[in-house]
Chains A and B, each alone.
Chain A
Amino acid sequence: MGMLRALRVAKSVMAARLLFQGVVAWFGLMTPVQGAAAEAAAPDFVLRAWEGAGEVRRSEFAGRIVVLDFFAYWCSPCQKASAEIEAGIRAHYAATSGNPQGVPVEVLSVNVESGQRGKTEAFIRKHRLHRVVHDEGGRVLEDMGGRNLPYVVVIDGTRASSDKSDFGIVYRKEGFEGVARIRAVIDRLGGARPRAAVRHGEDWIEGSDRERIEEVLGRQSWPRLASVGEPPVISGTSPETPSDDSVGVPTTVTGSAVFEGLFASDIALTQSGLTVGARRGAWEATVGGGFSTIGLDYEPASFDFLGVTSQVEEGRGAGQFSTRWRFQERWTVSAGAGIYDGFTDYRSAWLSEYYRQQFSALPGYVAPTPAGHSVSAGLRWEYLPASGFAQLDYSYLSDEIAPGYEIDFDGLRRGRPYLYTHLFRLSFENIVHPRVRLLHEFRRTDTSDREVRLGYQGSVNLALGERWVMRVQGGTAAEEPNFDAWYAGGTVEYEWADHWFVSLSGRYYEDSGEIENSNFSNAAPALQAWQIGAGLRYERDGFAVRVHASPYATRYGPSGIGTAFFRNLYRDRDWGLIQAAVAMEF
């Protein structure tokens, strides 16, 4: 009872703190959200040259266009961004002697990492960066409105001269949208073209030429014209005028596969899955499928005269779809759906075999057909740029289970075959220190015909050193009238060679036993479980693979007289756990 109340109060404190931070952010007392791509005066800057003692100043780019590519060697998306900007922007405009108006275009690769000079130089050599400068402490990055990497800024210096300081930011973006998008901005700068214009295919129409615009786009689609510096927003539709938002945005494809096996002397469990995903601009979608198997040697209790030993083999197929849309700079919405067919766990399969042997010959017995589906939705808020995230998820699950049976003078009675669950999850992820990342998760599970189950899980990832990472996790769950569970574990990982990582992990779990569901109960008694294992991971250039193995032990407490028929299900076992996973991004 005390644990449940503590969890409820902790939730209230979290919600109050989130509300406070939201109010503070609304009144702009915290770090302001990054501005839009409207033209703004470019702050003056002085950047130290990466090689030598020279400096690069903003005034050097009077009469030119300069692209600032902020990067760090440890930033994975920067690998692709810097390489494509170097080839698709710097080299491109060097070959064409500037943009279509003849304005020179330069690229500055701006490093924000103060340490690890060797790794930064390796990054520079790998991507053949031409002109590299250093931004000590990321001050220029912040002055330009950046909070994440990669961060790309385009400064228009075409109106500036030695006597006139008129530099404007015409493009700035966290993340990389592709060179085509940046080129579209650069190609409009400078020259005698009117300052306001509408793009129509490859042509530009003067912004004041309403008659021409309506002729092309339709009388009802007079577009909003932006000042120079913003991509023109065309509210009308025209097959010849694709949205600037879709031009040239690269698509990233991801794939992953996983296999898990848990084996004891009389039970063999496997789970395998395959997921494919794609990211393009603000959208992300994944599709996945999985297959699980259950193999067990069914053995009835010694006094079960109706029971016989048998082999049980079951399979379960599952499919899942999810999508995310970053509809604002700091907000992401997600949705998903899933479906499965088959037993979700080996205990259900064992109990189903028991009931089949006992009651299948009696009227009222129905062979189980376990299956289910789910839908979910979520909202994620980046309340601290790159450092603080809050997320709320809701899931609705419908499960057709393998129900239990009881027999009395009225005949065979079948248990409830359908369960409906409402699951809420509130999570907070924070970078509280340059070496510490935290995750708090609160869960509320409301399943039909049961009391609400509350759960909490906390995770801490600590960077202990250049080659050491420690991950610690713990959690608890509680449900009236008498279910309590807690668990804790940790992993220490060491990079023993470039791209190779070894890990040691351990975990302990304990619960008070499932809630008795009838006088003749099949609920599991109290459980203690523990494991200790080792793993190996390799990762390089968008590819990663991991293997892990550990012994795993389960120890059940004494079962009551009502659970005696299920003694062989809830007996102590020693298991072996193996995992293998691979992930790719291209």
Chain B
Amino acid sequence: MRWLMIPGVALMVGCRAVPVSQQRWVARPSMQFSDSPVYAYGAAVLSQIESGSAVSGGAQAAGCTSCR
């Protein structure tokens, strides 16, 4: 079943431009993938607990709180 993910993910990358005159919906701030803390709906503080979802790399992402 995991192998079905590969073509599924590949198909989800678009190859056709959506004209700007049709971008009313996706132009809204809440539809953007933004670094702004107002529109980024994750919580950075949770990366202290959920090491598998950390995106910054480094000691946290490695889950290595106190390595030997």
Contact = CB atoms under 8 A, between A and B. Distances in A.
Classify chain B's interface size. Answer: 35 or more
A185 interface: no
A361 interface: no
B20 A404 contact: no
Interface stretch (A165-173, A305-313, A522-530): A522-530
B57 A421 contact: yes
Contact of A386 (B7, B20, B49, B66): B20
A443 B56 CA distance: 10
Contact of A17 (B13, B44, B62, B68): B13
Contacts of B63: 479, 483, 514-515, 523-524
Nearest to B58: A397
A485 B68 contact: no
B39 to A, nearest CB: 8
Interface string B12-44: 111111111111111111111100111101111
B21 A137 contact: yes
A432 B12 contact: yes
Interface in A508-539: 509, 511, 514-515, 517-518, 522-524, 527, 529, 535, 537, 539
Nearest to A450: B62
A404 B56 CA distance: 23
Interface stretch (A58-66, A145-153, A176-184, A238-246): A145-153
A213 B12 CA distance: 56
B61 A453 contact: yes
A112 B21 contact: yes
A174 to B, nearest CB: 10
Contacts, number: 305
A527 B50 contact: yes
Contacts of B66: 347-348, 351-352, 355, 401-404, 415, 522
Given A113-B21, A493-B30, A529-B49, A544 B38 contact: yes
A77 to B, nearest CB: 10
A438 B32 CA distance: 9
Dominant secondary structure of chain A at its interface with chain B: strand
Contacts of A529: 46, 49-50
B41 A505 contact: yes
B61 A256 contact: no
Contacts of B9: 10, 13-14, 440, 458
Contacts of B37: 256-258, 273, 546, 581, 583
A437 B67 contact: no
A457 B55 contact: yes
A20 to B, nearest CB: 9
A260 B45 contact: yes
23 contacts: A6-B5, A10-B6, A14-B13, A76-B27, A348-B59, A352-B66, A388-B14, A395-B57, A403-B66, A421-B59, A423-B57, A431-B14, A447-B61, A461-B32, A469-B28, A483-B63, A485-B53, A487-B50, A509-B52, A511-B51, A579-B43, A582-B38, A583-B38
Interface of A: 2-3, 6, 9-10, 13-14, 17, 21, 30-31, 72, 74-76, 112-116, 135, 137-138, 141-142, 146-149, 256-258, 260-262, 269-271, 273, 344-348, 351-352, 355, 372, 374, 384-388, 395, 397, 399, 401-404, 406, 415-416, 419, 421, 423, 425, 428-441, 443, 445, 447, 449-450, 453, 455, 457-459, 461, 463, 469, 471, 473, 475-477, 479, 483-487, 491, 493, 501, 503, 505, 509, 511, 514-515, 517-518, 522-524, 527, 529, 535, 537, 539, 544-546, 548, 552, 554, 577, 579, 581-583
Given A74-B28, A421-B57, A437-B26, 5 more contacts: A386-B23, A387-B18, A401-B64, A453-B62, A469-B31
